[in-house]
């Protein structure tokens, strides 16, 4: 299969090349075009319209979430929404049969209501990153026949398909991964990793929160499954099988680093009171930061596993995290 990967020189793209290069012919589309082992050629964005003979497109290129909030909102929409429109329009005119778009769980929810975040959630993004991703999703869904809860909308799109305005032999997937990490990239684990590495006690051990993570190995496994199998067009959430508490996460990090975990179970109400005082006095620990550090964010992966016909992903959450943390210990 000839596969075009946008953003091929990024973290996910580089790992995807390692996963796919033995069985497929890979092409890149990126702002930089150095030679890369396993990649036949990397095109510039100006060359997009002239690319031929592609069977599938994996659209990874995008503006990542800026945790420091320094990026202009316009930048997110130009890259995350604008580039997606350009690549998807090319896909619709091309001979490619499959299109995989990398969105994010942040496109639909800044926090999770209920036990798990599923694909049925009504999108309520917060901030330009999530808003730009959901705009890109909406563009794709407005130009392709996606399963919906609306019979009239499905019927309307089906008529368009029957008239030949929507190709019958194409499949489109919108992926919403959460907290991606892997060797060489700790993702959003960086702050906690530094705390644990320095031996600083974690004072929030009394909070029993759970979060989902996505190992890069599981992510590549899912993408290859979508490329190789006849999976229905749709939106799919991606995350490891097991959600972990922060206390469990610290334990895994310490095990990988050969350290003893230092977890203090300070009274919840005391910590909430301190955070409230921090809000009033503009201190580092405030109510919003405490909420972020202790919230539940569990993502359901049941739909993608059912679509791929599997009971579990190949790498457990602990195995993936151990591999990630050990990669940083080895390169110290």
Q: What is the CATH number of the domain that holds 303?
A: 3.40.50.720
Q: Residue 302 domain-assigned? A: yes
**Dist CA 280 CA 41 (whole Å):** 55
**pLDDT computed for residue 162 by the predictor:** 56
Q: Residue 163 domain-assigned? A: yes
Q: Are 249 and 321 in contact (CB under 8 A)?
A: yes
Please name the residue that has the structure tokens 């964010």. Answer: 297
pLDDT tens per residue across span 197-237: 999 999 999 998 999 999 999 999 999 999 999 999 999 99
The whole-number average pLDDT for the span 63-74 is 71
**Dist CA 9 CA 42 (whole Å):** 9
Banded pLDDT at 153 (limits 50, 70, 90)? very low
Say whether pLDDT at 307 is over 80.
yes
Q: Report the Cα 42 to chain-centroid distance in Å.
A: 23
Q: Residue 259 domain-assigned? A: no
Domain count of the chain?
A: 1
**Dist CA 183 CA 258 (whole Å):** 18
Phi-psi region of 38 (alpha: psi -120 to 50; beta: other; left: phi over 0): left
Q: Residue 276 domain-assigned? A: no
The whole-number average pLDDT for the span 45-69 is 88
Banded pLDDT at 151 (limits 50, 70, 90)? very low
Q: Residue 35 domain-assigned? A: yes
Query: Residue 55's closest CA among 131, 125, 4?
Result: 4
**Dist CA 103 CA 132 (whole Å):** 10
Percentage of the residues of the chain whose pLDDT score is greater than 70: 91
User: The domain containing residue 313 runs over which residues?
Assistant: 2-188+211-244+298-317
How far, in Å, are 87, 233, 256 from residue 140 at the CA level?
A: 10, 12, 41
What token pair was written down for 122? 């009504």
Percentage of the residues of the chain whose pLDDT score is greater than 90: 71
**Dist CA 59 CA 90 (whole Å):** 12
Who wins on pLDDT, 85 or 194? 85
Query: Residue 61's closest CA among 10, 131, 130, 3?
Result: 10
**pLDDT computed for residue 232 by the predictor:** 92
Query: Residue 303's closest CA among 244, 222, 246?
Result: 222
Say whether pLDDT at 104 is over 90.
yes
Q: Residue 281 domain-assigned? A: no
Q: Residue 7 domain-assigned? A: yes
Q: Residue 325 domain-assigned? A: no
DSSP state, residue 83:
I
């Amino acid at each position: 299969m000839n596969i075009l990967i946008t953003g091929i020189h990024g973290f996910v793209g580089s790992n995807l090349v390692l996963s796919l290069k033995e069985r497929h012919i890979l092409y890149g589309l990126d702002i930089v075009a150095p030679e890369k082992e396993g990649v036949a050629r990397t095109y510039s964005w100006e060359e997009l319209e002239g690319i031929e003979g592609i069977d599938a497109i994996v659209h990874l290129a995008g503006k990542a979430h800026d945790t420091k909030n320094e990026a202009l909102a316009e930048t997110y929409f130009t890259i995350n929404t604008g580039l997606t429109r350009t690549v998807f329009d090319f896909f619709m005119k091309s001979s490619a049969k499959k299109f995989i778009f990398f969105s994010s769980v942040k496109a639909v929810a800044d926090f999770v209501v209920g036990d798990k975040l599923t694909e049925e959630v009504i999108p309520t993004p917060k901030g330009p990153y999530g808003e730009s991703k959901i705009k890109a999703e909406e563009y794709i869904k407005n130009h392709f026949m996606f399963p919906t809860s609306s019979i009239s909308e499905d019927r309307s799109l089906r008529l368009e398909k029957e008239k030949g305005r929507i190709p019958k032999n194409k499949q489109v997937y919108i992926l919403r991964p959460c907290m991606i990490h892997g060797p060489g990239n700790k993702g959003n684990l960086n702050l906690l990793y530094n705390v644990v590495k320095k031996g600083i006690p974690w004072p929030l051990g009394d909070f029993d929160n759970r979060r989902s993570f996505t190992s890069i190995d599981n992510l590549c496994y899912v993408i290859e499954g979508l490329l190789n199998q006849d999976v229905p067009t749709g939106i799919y959430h991606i995350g490891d099988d097991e959600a972990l508490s922060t206390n469990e996460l610290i334990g895994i990090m310490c095990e990988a680093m050969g350290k003893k975990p230092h977890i203090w179970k300070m009274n919840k109400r005391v910590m909430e009171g301190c955070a409230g005082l921090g809000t009033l006095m503009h201190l580092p620990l405030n109510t919003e930061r405490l909420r972020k550090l202790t919230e539940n964010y569990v993502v359901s992966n049941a739909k993608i596993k059912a679509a791929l016909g599997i009971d579990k992903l190949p790498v457990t959450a602990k195995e993936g995290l151990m591999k990630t943390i050990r990669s940083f210990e080895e390169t110290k």
